[in-house]
Amino acid sequence: MDIQNIRAFLAVSETVSFSRAAERLFLTQPAISKRIQTMEQHLDISLFDRIGKSVQLTEAGHALIPGYRRILDELEESERIISNLRETTRGHLRFATSHHIGLHRLPAVLRQFSKDYPDVDLELQFMDSEQACQQVLHGDIELGIVTLPTQSDERLTLQNVWHDPMHCVVAADHPLAATKKISRKQLLSQPSILPSSDTYTRTLINHALKLDDNTNILMETNYLETIKAMVETGIGWGVIPDSMLDDSLKVIDITNVKMQRELGVVFHKARTRSGPANALLELLSRD
């Protein structure tokens, strides 16, 4: 049953007049008459007796009033709840992020979010960016704050938040540390510690450095912190972002090579975002 028809029925039953019901609902009298006629045809019963200029409820009309009023009351209560949700951000937000972003990018953002929105329960899961994108796609989480893929499923929306320049690095006492600039061929002949081959970051590195089957890969890991620790031992070179550089490492300049990945938010195009999700997106857009 169309809710506008129900409103018209209750207005006529309360005013006992098609014209006054039309005025109340800011409609024309023919429009009100049409809605009542549609209801009567749908229910296959008369709801009003039209006797001259007077309008009276039939027995069927009287019987419908309590139920229809409950429907409108519940609808109005639902609308009030939605209105309150728009005005006050509360509820539950399930999202995921990578270990690197969780350590180096999110702490200040989440601290501010918790301060601004104390009524939101955050459920944060740590996982690889690739897994987070799949969970967003399947509806298991609402947002993924991750390394953005260069190519993604068309059902996902990618929103960039941080540019993340990447650098080839070696330990301060590594033989390559004293070299101002080296070729890609010279670099690839040396042992390396790299992200796993199935990660978005590795795809970027493969493209930038043109890695092939002859690349000397000593170790692969999904954790950039582990790559940094292994590079610091001097056993090989690695690739890490700006945010992890310190005096223990030396950036080596590779001829004609620049690397930068994009970090940001992934969400499903077909999913209506919750108030907490919109609030977090707004906060991230200021970061």
In the chain, where are the structural domains located?
Answer: 3-87, 91-161+263-285, 164-259
Which CATH architecture best describes the domain 164-259? 3-Layer(aba) Sandwich (3.40)
What does pTM read for this prediction?
A: 0.71
| Residues contacting residue 226 through CB under 8 Å, at least 6 positions apart | 193
Common-topology check for domains 3-87 and 91-161+263-285: no
Task: Please list the ranges in the chain whose pLDDT falls under 50.
Answer: none
Return the pLDDT at 83.
Answer: 65
57-66 CB burial, b ≥16 within 10 A, e <16:
beeebeebee
* Alpha-carbon dihedral angle through residues 178, 179, 185, 187, given to the nearest 10 degrees: 40
With tokens 């790299």, the residue in question is 194
Secondary-structure class of domain 3-87 per CATH: mainly alpha
**Can you name the residues that pair with 123 across neighbouring β-strands?**
94
What SS3 class is residue 107? Answer: helix
For 242-271, the pLDDT digits (tens) are: 999 999 999 999 988 999 999 999 999 988
**Cα gap 159→236, rounded to integer Å:** 34
Secondary-structure class of domain 91-161+263-285 per CATH: alpha beta
